[in-house]
Structure 1
Amino acid sequence: MQFIKEHSKLLVPRVFANEVDENNPVSAAFMLIELLPGIVAMDAFSSRKAHRGVIPREHRQNFYRSVAKSHVQLTSLRLPKIGTIVKNYKGEYECGPLPGIGGPFDTATAFFEAWADSVKFKWDKETITRMMQRGPIPAERMIAIIDNFPSQIKAMASKLSLFNEGPFPLDHDDFLHSNIMVDENSFDVTGVIDWEGACTVPWELIAFPDFLAAMPVSFDLPQNYGQNGQPLDEEVRETWRERGEYIEMVKSAELQDSLLSACLSSKRSQAISYLYGAYTNVGKLGTYDRVIEELERMQEMEE
């Protein structure tokens, strides 16, 4: 948060004091931070109760446009390596190791290889078997898909990123409307909170805000799409439309370069980011193997 405050105009709380060690007068790690104006977007206009936390339609365009500006500012913060943000003994900001993975990493390839070696799926085989009792794929097949995915990523690691070397962008890790503060009248962003998981990442892990998340077609069931390739579900079609509009908003906000809009526009990049989040954070069961096959086809076409 201090790094962001010092290096950008992104709206984050000012940190007045902090201790990460319990060996201090209050015997606990703490932060004393600024209270931001506004309300989290998920709760504005009683959205959590009245709209299930979904942004009301009449406010989405302005909200998305304001979020796009913040997204551009966020990804414009870049460091030479992939890792957490730490302050060294000189008071300078640099990259530190990622919990459970290691690092920092000089290349996207090294990051993906280390992730593949260390990642553990959220569910064990017994739980997956119970979850797949009525699923469209036999439990044994799903377990094999889950088990094979990290090694498939490791085998592709050197080809996954089009931007293998830094600088790498800062990622929030939980960029959604429960962590975005807004003015309740205009829905303009007044701040972004909850930076615990923030770190620099490969460009291929930069995704849409979570309220615009959509799974790759190859990860979904084929019967959910028509002959024209469009989703049959109206909410999913609406999300696709809004994602396209959000990309245009990002383009309008970009000044330094167009890397963010390029990543959001790339089916390949978004497929990688979706698989990473689904496997690492959610423990989502699905056809990871089909998406891997699609990524391999894309790679062959590029070559």
Structure 2
Amino acid sequence: MSEGESEGNSAFSESDTSSLYSESSTIVYEHESFETFRHKAHDLFTILFPNEESIAVYRMAGGSFHRIVGATVTSDVAVTQREVILRIPRFLYLRLADEVAVLNYLTDHTTIPVPHVLCFDLSSENQIGSPYILQSHVPGKRLHSIYPTLPFEKKKAVIREVAQLLKQFNDITFSTIGMLVAGNPECTEVKIDQAWDYAEDIFPREDDPRPPAQSNSTRSFLEERWSFHLEEEERCGPSSRSEISYITAFRKLTEGLQLPNIDTPARIVLFHTDFAPRNIFVDEETGDITGVLDWDRAESAVVEAAWTMPAWLWDKDSTGSDLLSWVDPDEIPDDPTAQKLRTFFIQEIGNLIPSYVEVIRENKILHEILLFARLGLRSQPMIERASKFLKDKIPDFEQLQLVEL
């Protein structure tokens, strides 16, 4: 079950104690079981909603990075009822302030449907002993859970909505390339810092914050990132000397690309780095998108990195599980219905962003290089991915590794 989906009865009830033990929290993450944690959550809700008559706390399925608790808040006086969501980071290194700031920015400056932040606490000095975000409940269902069974015309409605969203992402532009982070303690503004790196999960920067983003061209961004990753090797200690040879190889590969001059500004747009069906809520009846979740890794990115083909709209794998892979815009699926859906998306996005498909088609190698530059090489899956990529693109890559070693 995906993050944010309810598990069963929403009432605060003792009727089914077996459902109170969340495997993801108590076993995988060694967190307190919901059976006891719900009482702490109820105490917090009572303080946050002191004038309400009834507060029913219920468990929701969490994700890899957050525990999710829901509550139905009822006012007998005003005869109203509303659903709210408590979002609790599983790990201390997660930058809750950045997510709050991005959600506030999108709420204030765009019409992109996102959860509204009702309040937040960045400290652990509260009833649940953890930082949290309290946000509005997003109506509808997760797209991946219903899309495969939607009628053809409803799928077209969803595709039209996705294209409109991508147009909104494209219309939000920035002057530098990097990661959207909190710009002030109140989290009412955003600023751009250098992109997040896997190393920061293992070796968090406490008194040494990420340097501010300075690049406004693709060439300068790549050089900024390669230099940053080399500095990270020094700061954290290299997990493998071969990583340095990878960066050398990426620099060599970049030199062969026909990129604009370093002084030529790129088009830099809003990039939701996990724009997948699991993070999209839709109205099952209309196909309207009611919410887009998980903005904690949002970036300002060049279009060659941000623009991708959402093949999960026509592919048999509707989960969009592998968002890191470049998708060939000219690849035609075997299924006739999938072919029609793909064609419809290309028509819709072409009307809104005429250059969208062409930019993707012409920048496969650059898209891949930008991926490694953005995310770094500190995880084993990324190192293995980089190794395969470089061996395919640089015939003497293995010899280059030996020289570096």
Question: Aligned residue for 2:289?
Answer: 189
2:190 is the alignment partner of 1:93 = yes
Report the structure number with the largest CA radius of gyration. 2
Change (3 A) 1:14 1:166: farther
Change (3 A) 1:106 1:268: same
Kindly indicate whether the alpha-carbon contact (under 8 Å) linking 1:112 and 1:153 is maintained by their aligned counterparts in 2: no
Question: Aligned residue for 1:296?
Answer: none
Question: Aligned residue for 1:264?
Answer: 357
Which of 262, 270, 276 is the aligned partner of 1:170? 270
Change (3 A) 1:78 1:231: closer
* Residues 15-30 of structure 1 aligned to structure 2 (within 5 Å): 15-22=117-124, 26-30=128-132
Q: CA deviation at 1:232?
A: 8.7
Q: Which amino acid aligns with 2:191?
A: E
Kindly indicate whether the alpha-carbon contact (under 8 Å) linking 2:114 and 2:293 is maintained by their aligned counterparts in 1: yes
Q: CA deviation at 1:97?
A: 3.2
Question: Aligned residue for 1:4?
Answer: 106
**Aligned equivalents of 1:174, 1:3: Cα separation in 2:** 18
State the secondary structure of the residue aligned to 1:201. strand
Structure 1, unaligned runs of 5 or more: 126-142, 218-229, 294-303
**Aligned equivalents of 1:199, 1:97: Cα separation in 2:** 9
**Quick check: which one's strand share is greater?**
2
Question: Aligned residue for 1:36?
Answer: 138
Q: CA deviation at 1:152?
A: 3.2
**Aligned equivalents of 2:306, 2:342: Cα separation in 1:** 14
**Aligned equivalents of 1:265, 1:184: Cα separation in 2:** 32
Kindly indicate whether the alpha-carbon contact (under 8 Å) linking 2:122 and 2:132 is maintained by their aligned counterparts in 1: yes
Q: Which amino acid aligns with 1:29?
A: P
Question: Aligned residue for 1:155?
Answer: 255
Kindly indicate whether the alpha-carbon contact (under 8 Å) linking 1:171 and 1:198 is maintained by their aligned counterparts in 2: yes
**Aligned equivalents of 2:161, 2:332: Cα separation in 1:** 30
**Aligned equivalents of 2:297, 2:261: Cα separation in 1:** 22
Question: Aligned residue for 1:224?
Answer: none
Kindly indicate whether the alpha-carbon contact (under 8 Å) linking 1:204 and 1:263 is maintained by their aligned counterparts in 2: no
Change (3 A) 1:273 1:166: closer
Which of 336, 348, 353 is the aligned partner of 1:249? 348
**Aligned equivalents of 1:270, 1:177: Cα separation in 2:** 23
Q: Give TM-score, length-normalised by structure 1.
A: 0.64
Deviations 1:248-273 (A, max 9, x none): 21243x3xxx4xx4143222235432
**Aligned equivalents of 2:342, 2:225: Cα separation in 1:** 28
Deviations 1:50-85 (A, max 9, x none): x7xxx7655332111111111111221222112222
Kindly indicate whether the alpha-carbon contact (under 8 Å) linking 1:263 and 1:269 is maintained by their aligned counterparts in 2: no
Question: Aligned residue for 1:14?
Answer: 116
**Aligned equivalents of 1:271, 1:190: Cα separation in 2:** 34
Change (3 A) 1:154 1:13: same
Change (3 A) 1:157 1:102: farther
Deviations 1:211-241 (A, max 9, x none): 2677467xxxxxxxxxxxx769726x98777
Q: Which amino acid aligns with 1:248?
A: Q
Change (3 A) 1:87 1:144: closer
**Aligned equivalents of 2:365, 2:211: Cα separation in 1:** 24
Higher relative contact order (CA 8 A, sep 6+): 1
Q: CA deviation at 1:184?
A: 1.1
**Aligned equivalents of 2:119, 2:388: Cα separation in 1:** 44
2:308 is the alignment partner of 1:211 = no
Which of 154, 157, 161 is the aligned partner of 1:59? 154
Q: Tell me the C-alpha RMSD between the 2 structures.
A: 4.2
**Aligned equivalents of 1:16, 1:175: Cα separation in 2:** 23
Q: Which amino acid aligns with 1:246?
A: F
The percent of aligned pairs where both chains have the same amino acid is: 17
Kindly indicate whether the alpha-carbon contact (under 8 Å) linking 1:161 and 1:203 is maintained by their aligned counterparts in 2: no
Structure 2, unaligned runs of 5 or more: 1-102, 198-209, 233-238, 314-322, 396-405
State the secondary structure of the residue aligned to 2:222. helix
Q: Which amino acid aligns with 1:65?
A: R
